[in-house]
Structure 1
Amino acid sequence: MSAKQRKAGKKTITKPPPEQEIIILSDSESDGGTPVRPVFCLNVKNGTDLRKFDAIEDCFILDFDPYDQPASDQKVKNFTPDADIALISEKGQVACRDYPHARHLCAEFPFDKTPHQKYCSRCYCYVCDTAAPCALWEVGKSPHCHAMGQVAAWQVERDKMRNRRILGSKNRLLC
């Protein structure tokens, strides 16, 4: 602004070049406010009536599952406080840990990170369909501890073992 314009109380407005964009930021509440409402976190212990709160608020975050019964936390294995992320409790059951499963699907002893000979109390032999370890778990040129469903050769072995069981062959291998 020039000195003459300041004395006259006039402001000069210059139009920006077309490649520039002006964004006006306003902190006044007269602009209509934001359409986003605040999000609340409720705790079941504070005695808030959820139905009354639900009628007033559009969105809120619960720190509990209202449809779930309180479950006792299971003891967590291999807790290391130095880790960046730590699992401190678990709730519910995991299929590949709490139910019978083929060794290559074991959650307790991941197949790609632990020796294949290791197994949990719920592992079974993929080939024999019996509890691990089977009679051929660590025996022969193709030990069953290495069996997995994604390999065609193991699928063939599994089918052979199943057929032997079904036919009741006298010379079948018992696992």
Structure 2
Amino acid sequence: MAPKIEVKQEVIEINDSSTSPVQNTSPLKPIFCLKNRDEIEKFEEKEECFILEFDPYSNPDVLRLPSAVIDDNVDADLSVVAEKGQVACRDYPHPRNTCARFPFEKTPHDKHCEMCYCYVCDLAAPCLKWAGAAGHCHAYNNEAWDEERRVTRQLTKTV
């Protein structure tokens, strides 16, 4: 049988009589709820955190309406009424299969915006092989089109 070890427990009491200049104050601060935009500047100077009971981006100068084509086949449960900033697959060059203006699954593949480029050729759409049943307009990132893309790149390197 192993010898018994006696464990001493010590209780340490912490009292609130510290020499801190801030005594008896809670670390919790009230959070203010602002109801109009005129108060924002005043509270930003004094408070770290506050709740806005209004949309700070409701100013029409800040938001712009979407420039996407209105589609009658869109889901009625979701409507984009405004957007802020730029959209990668609409405002910057993108392969046709990722185009935001002409969704690949919902529009004819030969349709393209001014920022679309051919996935195979890496040229602005439409390329020389864009249309037709086996046209590059149907290309997207899968094994067959990736092979076509690799072959096309090798051919353009040798030319």
Q: Contact (CA 8 Å) 1:96, 1:105: kept in 2 or not?
A: yes
**Contact persistence 1:138–1:145 (CA under 8 A):** yes
Report the AA paired with residue 55 of structure 2.
Answer: D
Preserved CA contact (<8 Å) 2:96 2:118: yes
Q: Please state whether the residue corresponding to 1:96 is helix, strand or coil.
A: helix
Distance 1:85 1:41 in 2: 29
TM-score, normalised via structure 1 length: 0.58
Largest Rg, 1 or 2: 1
Give the % identical residues: 40
Residue in structure 1 matched with residue 85 of structure 2 by the alignment: 92
Q: Contact (CA 8 Å) 1:109, 1:118: kept in 2 or not?
A: yes
Are the counterparts in 2 of residues 43 and 63 from structure 1 also a CA contact under 8 Å? Answer: no
Give the unaligned 5+ runs of structure 1.
1-34, 169-175
- Give the partner amino acid of 1:164: L
- Give yes or no for the alignment of 1:130 onto 2:108: no
Question: Paired residue for 1:26?
Answer: none
Structure 1 residues 53 and 85: CA distance shift in structure 2, 3 A: farther
Measured against aligned partners, the alpha-carbon deviations of 1:124-163 in whole angstroms (never above 9, x if no partner) come to: 0000111111111114x521010001x1000000001111
Out of 46, 60, 63, the residue aligned to residue 55 of structure 2 is 63
Q: Which runs of 5+ in 2 are unaligned?
A: 1-27
Deviation at 1:74, TM superposition (A): 4.2
- Coordinate RMSD, CA, aligned: 3.0
2:147 alignment partner, SS class: helix
* Cα offset, 1:165, TM superposition: 0.9
What is the SS of the residue equivalent to 1:49? helix
Aligned pair in 2 of structure 1 residues 91, 133: CA closer, same or farther (>3 Å)? Answer: same
Given the superposition, is the C-alpha separation of residues 84 and 142 from structure 1 closer, same or farther in structure 2, using an over 3 Å criterion? Answer: closer
The amino acid of 1:155's aligned partner reads: D
Instruction: From 139, 151, 154, give the equivalent of 2:145.
Output: 154
Give the structure 2 partner of residue 8 of structure 1.
Answer: none
Hey, what's the Cα distance between the residues in 2 that align with 1:53 and 1:79? 48
2:96 to 103, 106, 110: 103
1:106-128 per-residue CA deviation (whole Å, 9 max, x = no partner) reads 00011111111111110000001
Q: By how many angstroms is 1:72 displaced?
A: 5.4
Match of 1:145 among 128, 137, 142: 137
